[in-house]
Structure formats: C-alpha cells, structure tokens
C-alpha cells in the first residue's frame, strides 16, 4: 500500500462509508506508533463513531453470577487451579440484581459465569431455567456469557429470546490460545460462535492484550473476527491474577486504546466496549476518546458481585454505576442513549446477521 500524509484521511473516508479495509490498510494501521499519528487515528475513530452512533453511548449491566469454573485459563482469577473464594448467586438474588440494574438505566443485562458444571450438566437445564426467569422479569436485551456450550443450548437461548452470545477467543493464534486456555479446544470455541450466528444470536468476541502476542497475532485475530462478522468486539489489557497467572508480556508498541481506535476503523458500525474492568472509572474516558461506544461491566455496589479481570475495582465505592458513568459521559460531551435506540440497533443487527457476512466478504477476510 502506498502511504502518504493523506492515508489516514482516506481510511477514515472508507470507514465512514462502511467499506472494508484491505489487509494492507490494516497492516498499516497496526504499524502506527508516532504519537501525533496515534492522536489522528483516535480522532478519526471518534469521527467514525460519531457518524454511526452520534454522541450516544450504551451501558451494559454485568452480572457475574457464578465464579465456579472447570477450566484452567492461565490469565483468570477464577481458574479451577485458583484457591480463591467463589460464589454461586441464588436465583432470587440474580433476579433482584437484574431488576436493580434495569431500574438504574442500563441498556442490556450480561449474564456471565465460569464454565460451572452446576449450570451446564443436564444439557444446561439449570442455566436455561435461570435465563428464562431473567427474561421473564426484564424488558432489556440479554447477553449470555456461559463459555463454550453445545449448539442445541445456543438454539434454546435463541428460542427464549436471548439477544447475544459472548465468547472471547482472546487470540486467534492456536499456539498462544493453548497457553491461555490450557486444555481447551480452539476450534470448538470458534464453532460455538459460528453456530450462534446461524441461530441469529448476536456475537461478541474479543482479544486479550499483552499476554505474549505479536503484532502478527493481533493482525490475524482481527482478520478472523472480521471474517466471523461479530457485532461486538472488545480488546482488554491483561491484568495478571493475584495468584497463579502468567506474567504480563508486552512485545509490541500497541496499547488498548490504540487498538480500540483500529477496531473502530475495521468495525465502523459495530459495538466496541470501554471496559471498566481494567482501570475502573478512571480508564473510561481514554477508551471513549479512542472510539469505544459501550460501557461494559456496570456492577451495583453491595451486590457481592465480582468483576472478571479487576475483581473488585470501583465496585463497592459505587463508581461502576449508571449515575457516575452518565456524569462522566456528560463531561465528555457524550450521553447515555435512549433504551429504544439500543433495541433498534439490536433488531437491525439481527437482520444484518444473515446479510453482513456476505457484504463483508469482499474485504479484509480475503
């Protein structure tokens, strides 16, 4: 690709028209390391976000309802290897927290768990009952993040009216995947997402940053997520668990905010979270300034709920609440979207599920 001073402007124009970048253009974005250029990249990402979403931001309520897990992920606080204290919230409590989050003004409820056998045995019967009970008491779209599950269970989620299936590959390097998700099947995880899309569930995928990946790994991971045509894509910096985790390894110049900006160029009209789970409320604005448009991991205080990465940061002091986030958004000239706007986006994205893959095939995925 021939580069000149207008290259970024040209890529902004392409993104504004929702045209896929070429692989050379993605490679170019991943090489940017000059501070002035990174600022231009982020400014471009904000312009693209503003074109597709105005100044509106979506808020996700996070309910990590079981921290039991049968897996041995080397980056996770709740790996089966870890002797950390765990909880499995009672159904009534989960329903109360869901209602509290809805009343506080979030746009979506994210029901997350470790791969807890209590919920997954008997073809996921207990999980289905819980999901059904939450759907009965909420008018909000529901995201489920239960780990890898069978296609039949995904179909039942879709039949119940679940909107999203979140399942993070963390990397599309099969070698690095084994280091991170030790003993798990790379292709089974990918297959679950493909199945979810077939069943018209929206899919969120994501990358973990500074776990020993190279720029080349990031490049192929972005290509893979683009090819999968996910509706929400997140990048999160690795925060080593207090015990047993692999050490953080930064092998390149890219940080979370720069990657959020690059993702905005690659996925112009998709959702990109600014997670409160890495740096708490203090890290929100830099991620929004990079083009994110969802605030994820809003957790009510006094609920006893944990975060995934930073398990307690800003939860009990009430800084991961809609009130605090809304105020911070206002100070940045952004605002919380209307509930109807989010529902409309979800419905439109579901229709696009069947067309999007075809539309996007012409670009990065080749």
Contact residues for ligand SF4, defined by CB under 6 A: 69, 71, 73, 76, 78-79, 114-115, 147
Q: How far is the CB of 76 from ligand SF4 (least distance, A)?
A: 3
Q: How far is the CB of 73 from ligand SF4 (least distance, A)?
A: 3
Q: How far is the CB of 127 from ligand SF4 (least distance, A)?
A: 14
Q: How far is the CB of 140 from ligand SF4 (least distance, A)?
A: 23
Pick the closer one to ligand SF4 by CB: 149 or 288: 149
Vertex 322: Cα angle to 272 and 208 (nearest 5): 30
Q: How far is the CB of 298 from ligand SF4 (least distance, A)?
A: 19
Q: How far is the CB of 69 from ligand SF4 (least distance, A)?
A: 3
- Ramachandran bin of 237, using left for φ above 0, alpha for ψ from -120 to 50, beta for the remaining angles: beta
Hey, how many other C-beta atoms are within 10 angstroms of the C-beta on 118?
Answer: 11
Residue 103, classified by CB atoms within 10 Å of its CB into exposed (0-12), middle (13-18) or buried (19+), is exposed
User: Token match 């020993």: residue?
Assistant: 212
Pick the closer one to ligand SF4 by CB: 124 or 147: 147
The pair phi, psi for residue 37, each rounded to 5°, is -65, -40
Q: Which residues contact 18 (CB under 8 A, 6 or more apart)?
A: 52, 268, 269
**Alpha carbon distance 255, 37 (integer Å):** 14
- Reduced to 3 states (helix: H, G, I; strand: E, B; else coil), residue 80 is coil
147 neighbors 181 (Cβ within 8 angstroms): no
Pick the closer one to ligand SF4 by CB: 138 or 184: 184
Pick the closer one to ligand SF4 by CB: 145 or 303: 145
Pick the closer one to ligand SF4 by CB: 76 or 329: 76
* Integer angstrom CA distances of residue 287 from 31, 75, 105, 262: 20, 22, 21, 12
- Reduced to 3 states (helix: H, G, I; strand: E, B; else coil), residue 323 is helix
Hey, how many other C-beta atoms are within 10 angstroms of the C-beta on 339?
Answer: 17
**Cα-Cα end-to-end distance for the chain:** 16
Q: How far is the CB of 87 from ligand SF4 (least distance, A)?
A: 13
**Alpha carbon distance 273, 227 (integer Å):** 19
Pick the closer one to ligand SF4 by CB: 203 or 262: 203
Pick the closer one to ligand SF4 by CB: 69 or 127: 69
Pick the closer one to ligand SF4 by CB: 76 or 202: 76
Q: How far is the CB of 78 from ligand SF4 (least distance, A)?
A: 5
């Amino acid at each position: 690709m021939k580069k000149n001073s207008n290259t970024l402007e040209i890529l902004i124009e392409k993104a504004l028209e929702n045209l896929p970048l070429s692989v050379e253009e993605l490679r170019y974005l991943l090489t940017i390391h000059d501070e002035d250029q990174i600022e231009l990249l982020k400014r471009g990402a904000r312009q693209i976000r503003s074109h597709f979403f105005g100044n509106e931001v979506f808020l996700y309520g996070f309910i990590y309802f079981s921290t039991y897990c049968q897996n041995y992920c080397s980056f996770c606080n709740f790996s089966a290897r870890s002797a950390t204290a765990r909880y499995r919230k009672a159904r009534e409590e989960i329903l109360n927290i869901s209602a509290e989050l809805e009343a506080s003004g979030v746009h979506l409820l994210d029901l997350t768990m470790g791969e807890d056998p209590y919920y997954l045995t008997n073809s996921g019967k207990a999980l289905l009952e819980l999901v059904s009970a939450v759907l009965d008491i909420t008018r909000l779209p529901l995201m489920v993040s239960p780990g890898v599950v069978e296609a039949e269970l995904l179909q039942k989620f879709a039949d119940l009216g679940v909107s999203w299936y979140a399942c993070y590959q963390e990397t599309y390097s099969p070698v690095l995947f084994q280091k991170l998700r030790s003993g798990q099947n790379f292709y089974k995880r990918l297959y679950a997402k493909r199945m979810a899309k077939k069943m018209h569930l929206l899919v969120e995928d994501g990358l973990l940053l500074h776990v020993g990946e190279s720029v080349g790994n990031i490049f192929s991971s972005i290509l893979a997520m683009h090819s999968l045509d996910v509706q929400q894509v997140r990048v999160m910096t690795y925060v080593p668990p207090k015990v047993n985790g692999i050490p953080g390894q930064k092998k390149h110049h890219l940080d979370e905010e720069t990657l959020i900006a690059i993702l905005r160029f690659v996925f112009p009209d998709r959702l990109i979270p600014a997670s409160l789970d890495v740096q708490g409320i203090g890290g929100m604005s830099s991620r929004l300034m990079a083009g994110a448009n969802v605030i994820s991991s809003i957790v009510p205080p006094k609920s006893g709920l944990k975060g995934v990465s930073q398990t307690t940061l800003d939860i009990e002091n009430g800084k991961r609440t809609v009130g605090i986030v809304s105020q911070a958004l206002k100070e940045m000239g952004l605002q919380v979207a209307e509930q109807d706007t989010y529902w409309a986006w979800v419905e439109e994205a579901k229709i696009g599920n069947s067309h999007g893959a075809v539309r996007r095939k012409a670009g990065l995925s080749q």
